Structure 1
Amino acid sequence: MWGSNWVALLGAVPLIGSPFVQVEAAHTLRPQNASICDAGTKQYTGTVDVGVGKSLFFWFYESRNDPKNDPLILWMTGGPGGSSLLAAFTEWGPCLLTADSSSTYYNNHSWVNNANVVFLDQPAGAGFSNTTSEAALVGGLAPGSVDFNTFLNLFFTEVFPQYASNDFHIAGESYAGHYIPYYVTYIEKLKAKNSSAAFPGIIESIMLFDAAVDSFSALDTGFYDMLCEGPEGDIFNQTYCDSMANAVPEVERQAAVCRDTYNATYCLEAQGYSGDALEKGFNELVDLGIRNPYHLYRGCIQEPLCLPADAGNLTVYFNKPGIQAALGYSDYFYSPTNNTIVVGFIEGGDDTIPANREMTYILNQTAIDVLVVNGALDIAVNLPAQKRIYDEHIPWKNQAKFRTHSYVDWFYDKHIGNFTAPVRTKGGQTKNTEGLVFVTVDDAGHMAPADQKEAVESVVKLWIQGKIGELTV
């Protein structure tokens, strides 16, 4: 979710917990209730065996509205190696952790208001997804793609076949900007070959939230925009900003080489150069706790993810014996991040190469629509660089139209208090062409669905209902 530029923030975590007793079945399924998550709807947890020694954990919530007919959204948190329970319990799930991590409370602005939702811990080894040996850990996008395809096949045939015909959307955050394009491209290419192994369902859209699609060096160019020319332009003195400006052309050249070659060595070199030239000064402030890589105006209180003080602590909550017992685990060490997976992706080169080609394939060769949502105050996956990437570095059939369109304000109905009418409120800016919609979110950082719950919920609702054009009305 956070990219290798921030690996030092993650810290080492145990490799493998102690999974619950192994069974022969291809999947497990457990109903849950309000004692573990005050969701206001039916909910289930379970696992799907996707290979030898690999079992992926999921948490499924029925829509609060019309489960039989509402769409289904599958969510993946990034990392690589991040648990999707981070989004479920601190961002936009139907229940959120209390500040003291003792319980949960009902979230009025969860996406389950209008959709069935499954949060998936992947790749194998992330969160509650079990691995029986170090060899079973997934350290790359290729094996992750195979496991994801296997999961979908089993989930929609053996676990919840009644949802196989519902509209299906795949969403994710940060490094999911790599997961989703690679996994979806893998599936769609299998379909193009008429492979019997391909997930046969129709993917209506992908939704990318503060998602790193291009190389990290390409994203680094936005550090200059935000820290030297943006509202916080006084963070560094003019001399330092001039040195950053002088480095940008070389950073862009190396990012282009990375993008053109997909060569892991070139991409790693580009990332190293841009990190030294554009990130170093800000990183020093992050190390001191003064700044936050995920939000322009916050310090870092809860390391390593710099969550707000009131977000609750997933490690505390999900390592409680009673909670683990309800999920079917015993003496398992749960962590929202797995640094060993990060290292595996780095060593295999998949952490540094981009996903631009895969995005081009999706936009040109499939009928899958793409929604991009980005917090305006995100640093790690910053808005200035993201705008350049989608305007210039993902070639596709409607690129010229998209690039020449202007951003316009979008609005949502904000509820203030319980007894007053909602106020039509500016949520950010947007532009779109057929196939691609880009939405910026005001006053939101890397976890935009958490920072602006009601605003982002309104975007998602209109998107899955095919009414995204109403954002600007």
Structure 2
Amino acid sequence: MNIFFWTIVAAVVLCHSIHCARVDDEVTRLPGLGVPINFKHYSGFLRAGGTRKLHYWFVESQDSPKDDPFLVWLTGGPGCSSLVALLTELGPFHVTAGNDTLYLNPYSWNKVANVLFLEAPAGVGFSYDPSSPYSYSSDDEQTADDNYLALLDFFQGFPEFLPNDFYVTGESYGGIYVPMLTERVLKRNNSINLKGYAVGNGALDFTLLGNGLIFFGYYHGLWGLALWTRLTQHCCNGSVSQQACDFVANQDPNCLDAVTEAERIISTEGLNVYNLYDPCEDEGSRRIVDPSTSYKYRLWSMVRRSLGLFSEIPSSELGLTPPCVDEASVEDYLNRPEVKAALHVQESPLNWTTCSNVLHYTSQHHTMQPTVQALVDSGRLKTLIYNGDVDMACNFLGDEWFVNTLGYKPTSTYKIWKLGKQVAGFFQTYEGNITFATVKGSGHMVPQDKPAQALKMITNFLTNTPF
């Protein structure tokens, strides 16, 4: 048995009679929130590798913290803040656009679970390294290691939650973060009660996402038959299918020209790549052209790269095309001095931004197929992969193909699931306790676009309730 295990066992025994959370990290007053709440929440820093410190914001369940599942949430980017998810998607507090006040989210995931929002890697949000406070670098492996070490430190401070069912969740580049952290917990720590993981609109395989995007574009009416004929004639091998068409690695000049034209339509004609049917924000918004804004746009740049259009995306180019979002209200709120004091983050030298402008990130993995297969083959875990079906940054076709290429046999047909009497989306289950689900009419951020459906979906997953 390792030292961590026995340390935690002793702490859990002690915590039977007292509440053992980090008392100094409890948030007792949140500026802008004018209504009472029925749960505790905490904010502070966790130890990662080296001298790095990761900021966390932990919200206890509104129902039964002692018994409800425990989720850790990782927003993608890469290099962007999970506090965006807390304050605009699945967290209990949402920022009112334009006036620095908060309101309660009736569809918060802490209605059914304890949720830990982790800002990673260092250089993201308030997470920092005192030995190098203004210059940061990380990659997939280091980020996964730091997330794991921060998680261990969290349970040192909150050992009473160690017996709870534990899940790793996230979205976007979380398609890399989530499986890699789950793998580390599975292999290195038997004291964490790991039950499964969930990935929303995930970057699980960039080649499949790139190929799926071209099919998605044509069948959503983004270009006509003439361009589609060029694409299929020059990029497909005798038939039009996932297996026969290669829009990503095909070196035929005619294919490259056709793919470039398709990508131009998607990227430069004013379409919202994160929700096809949503409008773009005003191009004149004060944050739209800031390279630190819109973590989703960084992922979109990587998907574009998968189509072979360029080999690198300099940070200076990240904001050149309007990303159709404006999250200035969250940034304004979190940088207020009284908010920083309430969250106990004054020690961080960083101003909070949606996406880090001081981090150099190296993406090492372009597919999560081996990692996810290892997780499934462990026989211990539940897998949920879900997609808003009108997202182009991480389209549902690419992620559905990813699930199918894992090689597990379907255990159900592809069928609808409902919220009340309305169709909420479609789902299919597979051997190995895998569920693939879509959310009808949602874009990249499902808990934001379809909050009621997202809450029902995650509740079904956590409680083993059939869709």
> TM (normalized to structure 1)?
0.76
Letter in 2 for 1:213: L
1:320 aligns to what? 336
Q: How far did residue 368 of structure 1 move?
A: 1.1
Q: Which moved further from structure 2: 138-147 or 439-448?
A: 138-147
Taking the aligned partners of 2:338 and 2:249, their CA distance within structure 1 comes to: 47
Letter in 2 for 1:227: G
1:383 aligns to what? 396
Q: How does 1:125-164 map to 2 (within 5 A)?
A: 125-132=123-130, 133=132, 137-157=136-156, 159-164=157-162
Richer in helix (by share):
1
| 102 and 72 in structure 1: CA distance in 2 versus 1, 3 angstrom threshold | same
Q: CA offsets per residue over residues 424-447 of structure 1, 9 Å max, x none?
A: 221001111341011110010010
1:431 to 428, 433, 436: 428
Taking the aligned partners of 1:89 and 1:454, their CA distance within structure 2 comes to: 16
2:449 aligns to what? 451
Q: How does 1:62-461 map to 2 (within 5 A)?
A: 62-132=60-130, 133=132, 137-157=136-156, 159-190=157-188, 198=189, 200-214=191-205, 216-228=206-218, 230=219, 232-233=220-221, 235-246=222-233, 248-249=235-236, 280-281=260-261, 283-285=263-265, 288=268, 290-301=270-281, 303=288, 304-305=293-294, 306=323, 313-330=329-346, 332-341=350-359, 343-346=360-363, 350=364, 353-391=366-404, 393-395=405-407, 399-401=408-410, 405-413=412-420, 424-434=421-431, 435-461=433-459
CA contact (8 A) 1:57 1:128 kept: yes
Q: Percent identity?
A: 25
Taking the aligned partners of 1:81 and 1:438, their CA distance within structure 2 comes to: 26
Q: How far did residue 186 of structure 1 move?
A: 2.8
Q: CA offsets per residue over residues 60-97 of structure 1, 9 Å max, x none?
A: 11111111111111100011111001110111111111
CA contact (8 A) 2:212 2:395 kept: yes
Aligned residues: 396
| 312 and 336 in structure 1: CA distance in 2 versus 1, 3 angstrom threshold | closer
| 48 and 291 in structure 1: CA distance in 2 versus 1, 3 angstrom threshold | same
SS in 2 for 1:445: coil
CA contact (8 A) 2:87 2:93 kept: yes
| 149 and 106 in structure 1: CA distance in 2 versus 1, 3 angstrom threshold | same
Q: CA offsets per residue over residues 82-124 of structure 1, 9 Å max, x none?
A: 1001110111111111111511111111111111111110112
Taking the aligned partners of 1:95 and 1:289, their CA distance within structure 2 comes to: 34
What 5-or-longer segments of structure 2 have no aligned partner?
Answer: 1-21, 295-322
Q: How far did residue 400 of structure 1 move?
A: 2.3
Taking the aligned partners of 2:399 and 2:151, their CA distance within structure 1 comes to: 30
Taking the aligned partners of 1:274 and 1:115, their CA distance within structure 2 comes to: 52
Taking the aligned partners of 2:338 and 2:258, their CA distance within structure 1 comes to: 46
Taking the aligned partners of 2:340 and 2:98, their CA distance within structure 1 comes to: 18
CA contact (8 A) 2:209 2:394 kept: yes
Q: CA offsets per residue over residues 393-440 of structure 1, 9 Å max, x none?
A: 224xxx1235xx421110123xxxxxxxxxx22100111134101111
SS in 1 for 2:163: coil
2:43 aligns to what? 45
Q: How far did residue 185 of structure 1 move?
A: 1.7
Taking the aligned partners of 2:23 and 2:450, their CA distance within structure 1 comes to: 35
SS in 1 for 2:435: strand
1:21 aligns to what? none
CA contact (8 A) 2:79 2:355 kept: yes
SS in 2 for 1:338: coil
Taking the aligned partners of 1:329 and 1:70, their CA distance within structure 2 comes to: 28
What 5-or-longer segments of structure 1 have no aligned partner?
Answer: 1-25, 191-197, 257-267, 414-423
| 274 and 178 in structure 1: CA distance in 2 versus 1, 3 angstrom threshold | farther
CA contact (8 A) 2:388 2:396 kept: yes
| 152 and 438 in structure 1: CA distance in 2 versus 1, 3 angstrom threshold | same
Q: CA offsets per residue over residues 183-217 of structure 1, 9 Å max, x none?
A: 22233233xxxxxxx46312111011111111x22
Taking the aligned partners of 2:215 and 2:187, their CA distance within structure 1 comes to: 38
| 97 and 289 in structure 1: CA distance in 2 versus 1, 3 angstrom threshold | farther
Q: How far did residue 134 of structure 1 move?
A: 6.6
SS in 1 for 2:121: coil
Taking the aligned partners of 1:383 and 1:224, their CA distance within structure 2 comes to: 12
CA contact (8 A) 1:150 1:199 kept: no
CA contact (8 A) 1:289 1:300 kept: no
Q: CA offsets per residue over residues 33-60 of structure 1, 9 Å max, x none?
A: 3435566522111111213330011111
CA contact (8 A) 1:40 1:64 kept: yes
